[in-house]
Structure 1
Amino acid sequence: MTFPIHDRSPIRFNAPLPARSDVVIIGGGVIGVMTAWFLRQKGLSVTLCEKGRIAGEQSGRNWGWVRQQGRDPGELPIMVESLAIWKQLAAEFGDGLGFRQTGVLYLAKTDREMQGFEDWTEHSRAHQIDTRLLTAAETAAMLKGAVAPWKGALYTASDARAEPWLAVPTLAAAVEDRGAILREACAVRALDIAAGRAIGVVTEHGRIACDHVVLAAGAWSRLFLARHGISIPQLSVLASVAATEPMPEIFPGNAADDDFAFRRRADGGYSIAPGGSEHDFFLGPDAFRSLGTYLSILKKEWRSSTFRPMAPKGFPDAWSTKRRWSEDEATPFEAARILNPAPNLKALGKVQDAFAKAFPSLGRPKLKTAWGGMIDTLPDVVPIVDHAPISGLTIATGMSGHGFGIGPGMGRVIADLVTGGHVGHDLGRFRFARFTDGTKIAPGPSL
């Protein structure tokens, strides 16, 4: 399989659409795929429609971290469950997922960062996670050849990594083997609504009747919901990542400080990216509408972001993107099958320089390839996982760059939410109404 997956990649999933399905899932990322997995376990018929390719967008373009460490406390119980599911999946699929429990290391350059790490360990202790603080000497001992002046680190040995563009399609194929219908290049244009309830979907290839719809469309969710009069303050930021040529192993897992982040890859190289909160934020009509809601995240999460005057043509928040359409005409989802933004090579160049400074014996890493991905986010940096104002519709979006690792656990939660099963977690932090009921919207105590 070539990487990154793009709109010219071969179609792998092309099953005929049924006239009816118990549940239709919109979106073929890790959230949609794992929701289908658990719905099939319950014996429901499931059809998953993906406008482009499975894992073509952020589910195949992320860092590949499977981490409990640093999570928002509202996400943490689901992430603990998710890690357990990842281990079960790895036992079943072996190297097909690239899953390895090699640990996550957050590196601190200041006493303030160390204090933040120490504060977060309160949450790890509450869930009996093996997170611990490391001294400067212990940190240096874990990173071969490092000379950076880190004061210490936060380390969780049980955290893991996997290969996103391998894992999600592998899991999708397994879901199909278990009886789900998966269809790529099949945009859902609209909900079919009667008496205020979603009774089906209208796709570019025809209508599917159903009892429930799950919207797991990532960066496209806001645009789809707005077509039906539902408003959410979701935006997207560009994250740039690169894969290095094979290098000597300096650490088998994942690590990050404010300058750079890296993950060991199965091919012997590293995935590297800007650390901290450096993203590219495109200013479009939705961004201007939501600016007031995002003030807190601009100060905390995106303080190093680069602001660009407009998104590329066809992107969800591009100035020219159509906001209204009829069911019998082509939609923005068909016009841009896969978001494939150009990476910020200047930012990645800084990462190469920072890496070389921290590990001088290795020199400046050579890049094999680089790519960009659009991270869908909400102003409190946690998702919406809740029933929508339209009966029969469940929203699961805004994973804020955390979706790959938490995907299996979140899929189980969503499946139970759809069917009225025992969810087992408090989803109050993720409720749809928090943006209109007077709740103070701000990022939680995550790292």
Structure 2
Amino acid sequence: MTAPPTTTHGADVLVLGGGLMGATTAFFLRQHGLSVTLLERELVGRQASGTNFGNVRRQGRELHQMPLANRARAVWGRIRELLGEDAEFVPYGHLRVCYTEKQAAALEKHAHDAKPLGLDLELYTAAQLHRRWGIFAPGVVAGSYSPQDGHANPRIAGPAFGRAAKRAGAQIIEHAEVLQVEHDGRGFTAHTADGRRFHAPQMLVACGAWSHHMAEQFGERVPLEARGPQMGVTEPLPYALGPSIGLSSPVEHEGLYFRQIARGNIVFGGGLKGPAHADHVRAYVQPDNVLRQMRELRRFVPAFGNVQLIRVWSGIEGYTPDWQPVMGQSAKVPGLHYAFGFNGEGFAISPGVGETMAELMATGTTSIPLEHYAIGRFATHSRLTTES
């Protein structure tokens, strides 16, 4: 049998990972005129990018994420123009409601603080919620509505960006597992399981819950934990709900969000996470979590009392200790960049991440503040872990 080729393939940028962070970055790098090779172990959009809820929301985020979230929303608004398909994005709004007056005050404060950052939120009393939507249980006391946000289909968004990047000239290589990456004075060389080598002077690590393994090869340790979202979908119901809707609560098991798609089904998730094993590429739905979600769904919206559940699923997401992503340049290696650890909140901002990372690699700078996401913030944690 002939040995597989070991030819080194060159590009301006190597992108490791074909989730939304990698695919959007590859797409926008081509807009800057840089050649790109994207290496994906399985299929583009296969992991967390394709198994999440599909929210395109800005409200409820840390304030320092607002510039990134606003940039992402601008891209979502142009998605058909950019890609030739819309990934089922609909700007039908995003509504958060709550059960307590204390949480209502938190929603009001967030609306006040986010307004100067470009996010205008509409506050609703229980009576106003009832008049406009008329679906919530009496225990819901207030809400906050973001009319320009919405939702999209995560199962098709990642592949759509991947196809667009390929049409724009990026080399998208699936079933290309990267085993090792080397760095020398000329750049980075990635070695795949089938014996191929790919070289570029710049590299982006966007491997989701597996990214910390790549970062460790360059002496940058990140305590990344894999968790599994608990997702479900119901039978089709008469279409009535435009916005995606979530419960705002500090009680984790109360957490719930849902949206109705055009076919009538209710897609839902939230609350406690399930087990995920990145090394074995397996995540699990826990039956007790599903039962809790169904109870909370009916508590939230009594009309869902008799709705039938037809499917559940999970995925593998990467979580950092401070619930902030790792995004930006390496603290140690020139030309190395990261975009991972989005803590189950990356789908909405992924086009903004891609545009920002492409801008950073193409020009050396970006208009989006990234200091909160620097990988160097974990250096102290790594030293303490090593010493203990």
- Give me the TM-score of the superposition, normalised by structure 1: 0.78
- State the SS of the aligned residue for 1:214: strand
- State the SS of the aligned residue for 2:131: helix
Alpha-carbon separation, structure 2, partners of 1:185 and 1:266:
33
Alpha-carbon separation, structure 2, partners of 1:384 and 1:92:
26
Q: For 1:185-207, what per-residue CA distance to the aligned partner results, in whole angstroms no more than 9, with x for missing partners?
A: 11111112225x74221112310
For the pair 1:397 / 2:340, whether they are aligned, the reply is: yes
> For residue 138 of structure 1, what is the aligned residue in structure 2?
128
Pairing of 1:185-204 with structure 2 (within 5 A): 185-195=175-185, 198-204=187-193
TM-fit CA distance, 1:380: 1.7
For the pair 1:99 / 2:89, whether they are aligned, the reply is: yes
What letter matches 1:239 in structure 2? P
What letter matches 2:113 in structure 1? H
* 405-414 or 358-367: bigger deviation: 358-367
* 139-148 or 27-36: bigger deviation: 139-148
For the pair 1:35 / 2:21, whether they are aligned, the reply is: no
Equivalent residue pairs, number: 368
Q: For 1:269-317, what per-residue CA distance to the aligned partner results, in whole angstroms no more than 9, with x for missing partners?
A: 1111134xx223x5xxxxxxxxxxxxxxxxxxxxxxxxxxxx64xx33x
> For residue 263 of structure 2, what is the aligned residue in structure 1?
267
What letter matches 1:154 in structure 2? S
Alpha-carbon separation, structure 2, partners of 1:48 and 1:204:
15
The two structures, once aligned, show a CA RMSD in angstroms of: 2.1
Pairing of 1:130-279 with structure 2 (within 5 A): 130-195=120-185, 198-205=187-194, 206-257=196-247, 258=249, 259=254, 260-275=256-271, 278-279=272-273
TM-fit CA distance, 1:240: 0.7
Q: For 1:39-84, what per-residue CA distance to the aligned partner results, in whole angstroms no more than 9, with x for missing partners?
A: 0011111011111111111100111000110111121111101101
Alpha-carbon separation, structure 2, partners of 1:103 and 1:176:
31
2:329 to 387, 399, 412: 387
TM-fit CA distance, 1:408: 0.7
Whether contact under 8 Å (1:163, 1:265) holds in the other structure is no
Percent identity, please. Answer: 27
Whether contact under 8 Å (2:14, 2:200) holds in the other structure is yes
TM-fit CA distance, 1:357: 3.4
TM-fit CA distance, 1:24: 0.8
For the pair 1:47 / 2:41, whether they are aligned, the reply is: no
- State the SS of the aligned residue for 1:37: helix
Alpha-carbon separation, structure 1, partners of 2:344 and 2:227:
10
Alpha-carbon separation, structure 1, partners of 2:209 and 2:303:
40
Q: Aligned in 2, Cα 1:359/1:387: closer, same or farther, shift over 3 Å? A: closer
TM-fit CA distance, 1:140: 2.1
Alpha-carbon separation, structure 1, partners of 2:374 and 2:218:
19
Q: What 5-or-longer segments of structure 1 have no aligned partner?
A: 1-15, 283-310, 317-335, 439-447
Alpha-carbon separation, structure 2, partners of 1:410 and 1:361:
38
Alpha-carbon separation, structure 2, partners of 1:94 and 1:365:
36
Alpha-carbon separation, structure 2, partners of 1:426 and 1:386:
10
Q: For 1:81-125, what per-residue CA distance to the aligned partner results, in whole angstroms no more than 9, with x for missing partners?
A: 110111111345566410001111111101111111112113321
> For residue 75 of structure 2, what is the aligned residue in structure 1?
85
Whether contact under 8 Å (1:355, 1:365) holds in the other structure is no
2:317 to 345, 350, 375: 375
- State the SS of the aligned residue for 1:115: helix
2:356 to 413, 417, 421: 413
- State the SS of the aligned residue for 2:356: helix
> For residue 68 of structure 1, what is the aligned residue in structure 2?
58
Alpha-carbon separation, structure 1, partners of 2:266 and 2:23:
26
What letter matches 1:344 in structure 2? Q
Q: Aligned in 2, Cα 1:134/1:123: closer, same or farther, shift over 3 Å? A: same
TM-fit CA distance, 1:403: 1.2
> For residue 328 of structure 1, what is the aligned residue in structure 2?
none
Whether contact under 8 Å (2:221, 2:378) holds in the other structure is no
Whether contact under 8 Å (1:352, 1:365) holds in the other structure is no
- State the SS of the aligned residue for 1:246: coil
Whether contact under 8 Å (1:356, 1:365) holds in the other structure is no
Greater share of residues in helix: 2
- State the SS of the aligned residue for 2:267: strand
TM-fit CA distance, 1:222: 1.2
What letter matches 2:162 in structure 1? A
> For residue 385 of structure 2, what is the aligned residue in structure 1?
none
Pairing of 1:250-399 with structure 2 (within 5 A): 250-257=240-247, 258=249, 259=254, 260-275=256-271, 278-280=272-274, 312=277, 315-316=278-279, 336=280, 339-388=281-330, 389-399=332-342
Q: What 5-or-longer segments of structure 2 have no aligned partner?
A: 1-5, 382-388
For the pair 1:428 / 2:371, whether they are aligned, the reply is: yes
What letter matches 1:371 in structure 2? W
TM-fit CA distance, 1:425: 1.6
What letter matches 1:266 in structure 2? A
Whether contact under 8 Å (1:214, 1:393) holds in the other structure is yes
What letter matches 2:335 in structure 1? G
Alpha-carbon separation, structure 2, partners of 1:145 and 1:122:
26
- State the SS of the aligned residue for 1:229: coil
TM-fit CA distance, 1:396: 1.1
Alpha-carbon separation, structure 1, partners of 2:70 and 2:128:
26
Whether contact under 8 Å (1:82, 1:410) holds in the other structure is yes
Alpha-carbon separation, structure 2, partners of 1:112 and 1:139:
18
What letter matches 1:429 in structure 2? H
> For residue 3 of structure 2, what is the aligned residue in structure 1?
none
